[in-house]
Amino acid sequence: MRRLVGIARHLWSRRLRSLILGTSLSVAVLAAGMALLGLSGWFITAAGAAGVAGAGLTFDVFRPSAGVRFLALGRAATRYGERLATHDATLRVLADLRVDLLRSFMKRPIRDLMRMRGSERLQQFTADVDALDGLALRLMMPIAAATIVLVLACLLIWYLVSLETAAWIGGSFLLFALVAAVYVVGRARRPSRRVHRALWALRMRLIDLLRGQVDLAVAGRLELARQQVMEAGTRLQTAQAELDRLERRAAFLIGSGTMLAAGGALVLGGFAAVSGHLAPELAALAFFAALGIGELATPLTRGLAELGKMSDAAGRLAPSLQEATAAPACIAAATEPGSLALPLSMEGVAMRRGDHSLFGDLRLAVAEGETVAITGPSGAGKTTLLDIAAGLLVPARGTARILGQISPDLPEAQRFRVLGYLTQRSSLVSGTVAENLRLAAPDADDASLHEVIEALRLGDALHGRGGLSTRLGEGGLGLSGGETRRLALARLLLRKPQILLLDEVTEGLDRETAIEVLQATRRLLPHAAILMASHRIEEVAFAHRVLRMP
C-alpha cells in the first residue's frame, strides 16, 4: 500500500493542474446534485405550505424554479466537462507513467535489457500500467471530491438547519462508507488480484495462439491451446463475477447509510418543525440533501474493489519508477583518447561460468583496420568475450579497453558511438526496409541506403518486392534468416563505427555470399577494428589473425 501511495503522490505532482481541474469539476457535479435535491425538496414543501396557509398567490415560484433549472442544466454540463477532464487527466498520468518507466529501463545496462525482451515481461508491464488506470479516476479524484463536498454540505446544513442534523447526516454516512470500504478492501484484494492475473494469462495465451497457429496445428496442439485460452477466459469471468458481487454489497452498505442519514434527518427535522424551532421547508431540504449524499461514494466502490490489483501492480512498478526519478549519478566525462591508443585491447582477462573457467589471463589487441577471428567449440566463450569487449559483461579479472578507456566505465551512449555490435539475435521492426535502416542513420539519403544494400547482396532479394519500400512484418517477418542477418548488418554499417563486433555474421549464407559480405564490410569500413566470433572457414580465412579458444 505504501508503494501505491508513493505512485499516487508522484502522479499527482506530475499532473497537478489536470487533476485539480478534474477534481474541481467532480466537486461541481456532486454539489449540484445535492443542491438540486435539497432545493427541489424545499421548493415543493414551501409551495405546499404556502398553499395550505392561503398565501399561494404571493409565493415566489420563479426564483426557486429558475434555481432548479439552473442546477439541472449546470449538473448536466459539468458532468460532461467532468468526464472529459477526469479521463484526460487519467490518460495524461498514465502516459507520464509509461514515459517514466521507459526512462528507468533506458538507464539499465544493455545486458539487463536483452533479458527483458520476452513478450511475457512486456505483457506484464503493460498489464501493470493498465491496472493503475483507476488510481486517479476511481480513487484519487473521487476521494478528494467526496471529502470536499461532504464537508461543505454538512457546514451548509448546520447553517440552515441545525448542528444535530448535520452531525447525524455526516456521521451516519461516514460510518457506513467506512464499513463498506473496510469490507471491500478486505474481501476484494484476492479476487482483484485474480482478475488481474487471469487477464494477463488470457492475453498471453491468446497471443500465443494467434501467432503460433500453424506450428500448433502441425504439432497437433491447436485444440489444446484453444482450450487453455477458454480456461483463462473462464477464470477471468469467475473472478470478475466475485468482484462484481462485492461491489454490489458495498453499494448496498452505502445505500443503507444514505437511507439512515435521510431517515434521521427526517425525524430530527420533523420534531424540530413540530416544536416550532424549524420551518418545515428547511426540514425537507435536509432530508432531500441527505438522499443525494449517497452519490458521493458511488464512484469509489469500483476503485476500492480494484485496490488489490493496483497494489500488486504498484509493488512491481515502484522500484523502476524510483530509478526514473532518482537524480542521475555524476559520471566523469571520458577523456579523449590519444592518437596512439588501440581501438580495442584486453589485458589479463579471465571469466568463469559457474565452477567452469572459460578462459584466463587472455590478452588481445585489435589495431585499426585489422580483423581478428575468435574460433573454438560451442560454449568455449566466444560470445562472452565479445560481450566483455562491448562492456556488457565485467570480467572476473583483467580489463577491456576501448580507445584506451576501460570499457564498462564509459557511459553507454559514448561507448556505442564508436562501437557496433551485431549479436546472434538480429532485431528488426515492423515497417519498411528504409525505416529499419534509418533507425541507425536517420539523415541517410536513399543513395546511401542503396549502396549498403547492394554491397551486402540484398538488392536482388528486395528488387522484386519494392526495394527500400518493401514492408516487413513484426520482427522482420518476410525475410529469410540470412536476409534478416544482412539487413541488420547493413543498419550497423550505416553508423560507421570505429570498432565492429560480429557474432557469427555469415550464419545462414552460402560460401560465395559469405565471402562477398565479409569483403563488403571491410570495403565500407576500411579503418574499423573488427573482432568476430567465427565458426566458418570463410570467416577464419578472411581474418588477419585468429584467436583460438580452448
Percent of the chain with pLDDT over 70: 91
* pLDDT at res. 116: 62
pLDDT of residue 130: 79
Domains and CATH numbers, the chain: 2-315 (1.20.1560.10), 344-548 (3.40.50.300)
The CA-based angle 240-243-247, given to 5 degrees, is: 135
For range 33-47, the mean pLDDT: 84
- Average pLDDT (433-461) is 86
Residue (of 479, 466, 176, 131) closest to 318 by Cα position: 131
- The contacts of residue 256 (CB under 8 Å, 6+ apart) are 176
Cell of 86: 477526469
pLDDT digits (tens, 9 = 90+) for 71-94: 889 889 988 988 898 888 888 888
Q: What are the residue ranges of helices labelled H in 480-510?
A: 481-494
CA-based nearest residue to 334, from 419, 387, 391, 406: 406
- Average pLDDT (241-254) is 87
The pLDDT score that the predictor gives to residue 167 is 92
Of 293, 298, 297, 48, the closest CA to residue 156 belongs to 293
> What percent of the chain shows pLDDT beyond 90?
10
- The owner of cell 560451442 is 378
Q: What is the pLDDT of residue 506?
A: 87
Q: Of residues 420 and 477, which shows the higher confidence score? A: 420
Categorize the per-residue pLDDT at 327 as very low, low, confident or very high, splitting at 50, 70 and 90. very low
C-alpha cell at 181: 470500504
- Whether the per-residue pLDDT at 307 is higher than 90: the answer is no
Please report where in the chains the cell 469467475 appears, as a residue. Answer: 238
Mean pLDDT of 302-317: 77
Backbone angles phi, psi at 213, to 5 degrees: -55, -45
Distance CA 181, CA 169 (A): 18
Alpha-carbon gap, residue 16 to 318, rounded angstroms: 20
When pLDDT is averaged across residues 483-496 and rounded to a whole number, the result is 89
- Sign of CA pseudo-dihedral 522, 525, 528, 534: negative
Residue 11 has pLDDT above 50, yes or no: yes
The pLDDT of 344-362, averaged and rounded, is 82
Q: Are 499 and 420 in contact (CB under 8 A)?
A: yes
DSSP assignment of 440-467: T-TT--HHHHHHHHHHTT-HHHHHTTTG
pLDDT tens profile 168-204: 998 988 898 888 888 887 888 788 888 878 887 888 8
Predicted local distance difference test score (pLDDT) of residue 337: 41
pLDDT classification of 324: cutoffs 50, 70, 90: low
Q: What is the pLDDT of residues 134-163, one digit of tens each?
A: 777 778 888 888 889 999 989 988 988 889
pLDDT tens digits for range 98-130: 888 877 777 766 666 666 655 666 777 777 787
pLDDT interval class at 340 (50, 70, 90)? very low
Look at residue 345 and give its three-state secondary structure.
strand
